[in-house]
Structure 1
Amino acid sequence: MLLAIDAGNTNVVFALVEPGSGGIRARWRIATDPRRTGDEYAVWITQLLGLEGLERSAIDKVIISTVVPRALHNLEVLSTKYFGVTPLVAGRAPVEWGMDLDVEEPQNLGADRAVNAIAAHALHEGDLIVVDFGTATTIDWIDYRGAYKGGIIAPGINLSLDALVNAAAKLPRIAIEAPVGNSVVGRNTVDQMNIGIYWGYVALIEGLIARMKAEIGRPAKVIATGGLAVLFEKHTLAFDAVEHDLTLRGLAMLAERVKG
C-alpha cells in the first residue's frame, strides 16, 4: 500500500492509497513542525494505522511532496527507519514532473502546485485553472497540452484575517464562515468583519479567475482544491469542479510511474 505525504506550510497530510484502484482509504493531518522527528511521526502514524486494522508492514511504498524543505529529512527518516522503504520525493529522480514548465523560474515552482497540475490534467480535458486554498491561495494555469504556464500567489484567507486582527487592536479574532443571509451591510463588528473577510475573499477569487480567463483567451475549466475549498464551493459559481484530494491523487499518479 502507498503512503502519500503532502507537507504544506500549515499541515502535513498523510494518505493511505489503495493499490490498483488509487482510492484513498484514509487521510490524516498533523500540524507542520520541521522539528518533529521521524520517531515522533512513527508513534503517531502507527496508532492511526492500528485504527485501520493495519500494521506498518502494510506500507510498501512512500512518496513525499513538500514545500517545507526542513521537514523533508525527518519524513525520510520515518520512511526508511519505520517502513523500511526509500521514499520517492516528488520532483526528484526517479519521479521528475514529466511535464513542460513554461515559466521563467521552473526550479522555484512549489511541489504542491506541480503535483496539482499533473493530477488536474489527468482528470480533466482542455485548459485548466486550478485554485488551491491553503496557507497561500494559488491560482495556476495548465494548458490543454498539460504544460504549466504560470499563475498567481495570494495570501490565504487565514493570513488575511491574522493580519487584520494583529494590526487593529480592538478587532476580535473570529471564525471564518459564510455570513448568514445575503446582506453585505453588517450591523455589528463581528458581522462586518465576517462579511469583509469572506465576501471580500470570494470577490478576490472571482476577479482573479475572470482576469486569468480573459488572458488565456480560450475556454478554461476551473478546479478548486485545498483544505479551505469547502468554505467557498457552495457560495460561488466560479468553480466547475472541486477535487478535494487533487494533490494526493497527483502523488499517487507520480508513484504509479515508478515500478518496483
Structure 2
Amino acid sequence: MLLVFDVGNSNIVLGMFREDKLSYSWRVSTDQAKSSDEYVILINQLLQYYDLKPESVEDVIVSSVVPDLTYTLELAIRKLFRIYPLSMDSGTKTGMQIHYDNPKQVGADRIVNAVAAYEKYGGPLIVVDFGTATTFCAISDTGEYLGGTISPGIKISSDALFQKAAKLPRIDLVKPGRVICHNTVSSMQSGIIYGYVGLVEYVIDKMKKELSDGSQTITVVATGGLSTLIASETDAIDVIDKTITLDGLKIIYEKNKEGRTPESIRSEEMLPEKNLQLEA
C-alpha cells in the first residue's frame, strides 16, 4: 500500500491507497513542536485503529508547505516504516508546465491540486483550496499551470478580528442565515462568511475572464476543510472534491516511482523501542 502525506500549516492529511483506491484517510493538527518520536507514536496509533501494520506500507510520498516540519516528519517515516519517503520538490516530475516567475515559489500543495484536478476534470479549470490561506489556481486547457491568487483564509480572517478588536469575541464559523444581524456574534459571522463568498465569486469571475474569451466552459473545483461552507452559498463552484490533494499525490507518485525498489528505499532506522539501549 502507498501512504501519502499532505502537510499543511494547520493540518496534516494522510491517505492510504490500496492499488488505485483511497482506502483510509486521517486529518491531524500540524504541530511543529512535536518530535519525530511523537509523530511515530501518533501515526502508528492511527494505523492501529484500523488494524493496519507499518510493514503493510510499501512506499510513502510527502508534500509539505511547512519546511521546519518536513525533516521531522520524514525522520518519523524512516523510523516507523524504514522507508526513505519520496518528497515533493523542484526535481519531482509532475507532467505539468508551470508558468510562474520562479516555479520553486509555488506551494507544493497547489501543484499537487492542479495535477489531480486536470487529470480528473480536464481543462481549462480553476482550483480553489480553502486552507490556512485560500488559493485560486488557473490551469489551461492543455494542462499548463498559469498562476493564481492567494488570500487570507477564512479562519485567519476570523482570528484577526478577535485578536485586533478588543470588544469582538472569538466566534464559530456558522452561517447566521441573514446579512442584517441584531447581535455582535451574528454580525461577525455574516461579515466573514458572506463577505468571503463575495471574495470567492469576484476572484473566480476575474480569473474566468483572463482564462477564456467566453467560448470555453471553465470548471471550478473547490477543496479544503471549509469548501462545503462557502460552496453552499454560491453557484460559482461546480465541484467539491475533498480528496483532490491525496489523489494528486498518488498521481505524482506514479510518475516518479521508477527505480523506487524495496531495496533502494529502505532505511536503517528502526522503531524506537528496537533502538533503545540502556546505559549502566
> Same-fold call, TM > 0.5?
yes
Q: What's the CA shift string for 1:147-182, capped at 9, x where partnerless?
A: 1001000000011111111111111111001222xx
CA RMSD after TM alignment: 1.3
1:206 aligns with 2:201: yes
Question: Moved runs in structure 1, 4+ residues, more than 4 A?
Answer: none
Q: Does the 8 A contact of 1:2 with 1:61 survive in 2?
A: yes
- The equivalent residue for 1:29 is 27
Give the TM-score normalised by the residue count of structure 2.
Answer: 0.88
Report the Cα offset of residue 219 of structure 1.
2.9
Amino acid at match of 1:250: G
Q: Give the alignment's TM-score, normalised by structure 1.
A: 0.94
Write out per-residue CA displacement over residues 44-66 of structure 1, whole angstroms, 9 at most, x where no aligned residue.
11122111111111111000000
What runs of 5+ residues in structure 2 fail to find an aligned partner? Answer: 262-280
Query: SS where residue 196 of structure 2 aligns?
Result: helix
Alignment-derived partner of residue 8 in structure 1: 8
Q: State the SS of the aligned residue for 2:42.
A: helix
Would you say 1:186 and 2:181 are equivalent positions?
yes
User: For residue 229 of structure 1, what is the amino acid of its counterpart?
Assistant: S
| 1:106 to 2:103 alignment | yes
CA contact (8 A) 1:135 1:155 kept: yes
| Identity score, percent | 42
Matches within 5 A, 1:89-238: 89-93=87-91, 95-180=92-177, 183-217=178-212, 218-238=216-236
For 1:107 and 1:82, how far apart are their aligned partners in 2?
30
Q: Which has the larger radius of gyration?
A: 2
Question: Shift in Å at residue 227 of structure 1?
Answer: 1.5
The SS at the match of 1:232 is helix
Q: Report deviation, 1:38.
A: 1.9
- Which whole-Å CA distance do the structure 1 matches of 2:184 and 2:169 have between them? 9
Separation of aligned partners in 2, 1:17 and 1:29: 15
Q: In the alignment, is the contact (CA less than 8 A) between 1:9 and 1:67 conserved in 2?
A: yes
Equivalents in 1 of 2:228, 2:238: separation in Å? 14
- 1:102–1:149 CA contact under 8 A, matched in 2: yes
Match of 1:71 among 60, 69, 72: 69
Question: Which gives a bigger RCO, structure 1 or 2 (Cα 8 Å, sep 6+)?
Answer: 2
* Gap change, CA 1:189 and 1:131, over 3 Å in 2: same
User: How big is the shift at 1:92?
Assistant: 4.9
